[in-house]
Amino acid sequence: MIVYGRNVLEEVLKSHHLVRKVYLRADERNKPSSLVEKLKKANFPFTFVSSRKLAELCGEEKNQGVVIDLEFKYADESEIKGDLVVLLDHINDPHNLGAIARTAVAAGAGAIVIPKDRSVDVTPSAVKVSAGALLRIPVVKVTNLPRTIDNLKEKGYWIYGADMEGTSIYEEDFQPPVGLVFGNEGEGLSRLVKQKCDQLIAIPMYSDIDSLNVSVSAGIIMFEIARKIRRVE
């Protein structure tokens, strides 16, 4: 996978993904660079190339002089852990995946779960939107999301589904560990996934707008849950 940008590289340095090579703009060669020192310390292979070559590699001229060729690997279901896990029920837009992933990392989520079929994959676009944070959190791709929900329940997770008909998030006293499911941008939670949820929750609206973009909803809900399960006031 080809990703780019200085913020993305900073996140790559914190991740566990294998880096094949980092490409830096040629003018980095002749000036003191903390970035180069970090690459040397991390033992990442790197080289200096022209701005034109960088643009050819990533398809974007605005790349901040940094392009990274890395091997992205999905995590195994056994790696799901933490007091908050985010499950995405057929999210299709890579921008939503990236935004949700960045929020999930900020909120201290332990993993993101996506289904194998009819769902967005981790793409360079999603990584860019997340400013690289998508590389810091385990992303688990599963063949059967309802079955994974059952497995989490057996581990003690209480599964909440975000749905307009649910209980207000401000009325719910969340107790960890929590599994939080967000549905498709247009259709919401699928029927079987909704049935598997222990409880449905919603963000109360104070006007005639009846819904928010899924990444916006995810941010509001995740931080309300994080505040309550960690008792941060």
Closest CA to 11 of 100, 113, 136, 129: 136
Whether residues 31 and 125 share a domain: the answer is no
3-state secondary structure of 67: strand
With contact defined as beta carbons under 8 Å apart, do 42 and 13 qualify?
yes
Q: Can you give the pLDDT at residue 33?
A: 75
Whether residues 58 and 89 share a domain: the answer is no
Q: Can you give the pLDDT at residue 232?
A: 47
CATH number for position 107: 3.40.1280.10
The whole model's pTM is what?
Answer: 0.90
With contact defined as beta carbons under 8 Å apart, do 12 and 19 qualify?
yes
Tally of domains in the chain: 2
Q: Integer distance in angstroms from the first to the last C-alpha of the chain? A: 40
Whether residues 194 and 99 share a domain: the answer is yes
Residue pLDDT tens, the chain, 233 long:
999 999 999 999 988 889 999 999 998 777 767 888 899 999 999 999 999 999 999 998 999 999 999 999 999 999 899 999 999 999 999 999 999 999 999 999 999 999 998 889 999 999 999 999 999 999 999 999 999 999 999 999 999 999 998 999 999 999 999 999 999 988 889 999 999 999 999 999 888 777 789 999 999 999 999 999 987 44
List alpha helices for the chain, DSSP H: 6-14, 34-42, 51-58, 94-106, 124-129, 145-154, 191-196, 214-229
What domain range includes position 155? 77-229
Whether residues 164 and 183 share a domain: the answer is yes
Whether residues 67 and 87 share a domain: the answer is no
CB atoms within 10 A of CB 75: 16
